[in-house]
Amino acid sequence: MCQEFLPKINKGDKRVFVINGKLCGVISRIPKKGSFLSNMSKGAKVVNTKLTKVEKQISNLIAKDLKKENIFFAGIDLIDQKLNGDINVTSPTGIKTYYDLSGKNLAKTFWKELKA
């Protein structure tokens, strides 16, 4: 897979958690100094954040399509209010970090939605 390099990655990306077609949470991952890698495993700093109006629109469109395709849990990655081509459907990480920052347990949300 190839992705266009978006220089504003130095300000971080946003990981949007989608469960059952719903936007359930978001974190921002900011690369460590001198890096452009926003992966938590590469030392990125993680902070609470909110989505802009544009990011909500993009995320809701994708969430709707994910639900239509029966993808129950995913992570959408946005850089500079743009989808960077990366939608994690096999192992969207960060829900423990999101819990640590927000107190909201997305694992519980996952199981609640699964039973619905």
Q: Distance between CA atoms of 23 and 85, rounded to whole angstroms?
A: 18
Residues contacting residue 3 through CB under 8 Å, at least 6 positions apart: 84, 85, 86
In a domain, 6, yes or no: no
DSSP output for 44-111: -EEEE----HHHHHHHHHHHHHHHHTT--EEEEEEETTEEEEEEE-S----HHHHHHHH---HHHHHH
Q: Do residues 37 and 79 touch, judged by C-beta distance below 8 A?
A: no
Does 80 reside within a domain?
yes
Domain residues for 55? 12-115
First-to-last alpha carbon distance for the chain, in angstroms, is: 35
Q: CATH number, domain at 51?
A: 3.30.470.20
pLDDT tens for 6-22 read 888 889 999 999 999 99
Residue 2 located in a structural domain:
no
- Asked whether residue 96 is domain-assigned, the answer is yes
User: Any idea what DSSP says for residue 116?
Assistant: -
pLDDT at 72: 97
Provide the number of structural domains found in the chain.
1
Span 77-109, pLDDT tens digits: 999 999 986 899 987 889 999 999 999 999 999
Is pLDDT of 23 > 70?
A: yes
Asked if residue 107 is part of any domain, the answer here is yes
- 91: CB partners within 8 A, 6+ apart: none
H/E element, 102: helix 95-102
Residue 84 belongs to some domain of the structure: yes
Give the pLDDT band (50/70/90) at residue 1: low
Is residue 21 in a domain?
A: yes
pLDDT at 6: 83
Residues 24-44 pLDDT 10s: 999 999 999 988 888 888 888
> In the predicted model, what is the mean pLDDT of residues 56-64?
98
